[in-house]
Amino acid sequence: MKSGIVPTQQEVRFENHELIVSKTDTAGRLTYANRVFMRVANFPEGALLGKQHNVIRHPDMPRGAFRLLWDTLAEGREWFGFVKNMTADGGYYWVFANVTPDRMQGRVIGYYSVRRQAPKGAVAEIEPIYRQMCTIEAQAGKKNAPDASIDWLGAQLAERGVSYEQFVLDCYKRHLAA
């Protein structure tokens, strides 16, 4: 593991009313982390601030998902998606994330991220998709991995007649009510 943290099968849950909030600069370095974030991720503030937000990236997350995130933000739009994160001690937690450009005088100066507990049904729906994306990425090689998994995901969503954003928003809403 790049971070040196060994993933475990220990899931961390948090209350449905709690929000994980963070802020980064334009390079993705954390400039703010709320107490819920620190508690759930099991990182002290000093181990987060100034670090790349991917310090909590779980190896089960396909690189293509993050390419979609950064491409969406580069277009000046907000991004929604499901993310599996890793705690400081190797545990994991699933979130439904909303990442929004932070602007000052019309210029993007960073990004806000607000995350909610992902509904279990939504996780059950997205996990096989992410597993397939990771498999595709492993076969495509490091350089082509994100594009290969995004191409596959795009084809799957085209068959359903939905965009990525519509798919994740519908998935979240459908399973939130369940």
Total residues belonging to the chain? 178
What is the amino acid identity at position 89? Answer: D
Residues 97, 82 contacting (CB under 8 angstroms): yes
Alpha-carbon distance of 34 to 135, in angstroms, equals: 34
Calpha distance 112→79 (Å, rounded): 11
Per-residue pLDDT of 121-170, as tens digits, reads 999 999 999 999 999 999 999 999 999 999 999 999 999 999 999 999 99
Q: What is the pLDDT of residues 77-97, one digit of tens each?
A: 999 999 999 999 999 999 999
Angle between helices 145-160 and 63-74 (to 10 degrees): 80
Interval 44-71: pLDDT, tens: 999 999 999 999 999 999 999 999 999 9
Going along the chain from its start, the domains and CATH numbers come out as 20-176 (3.30.450.20)
Cβ contacts of residue 100 below 8 Å, gap of 6+? 78, 79, 111, 112, 113, 114
Coil, helix or strand at residue 127: helix
pTM for this prediction: 0.93
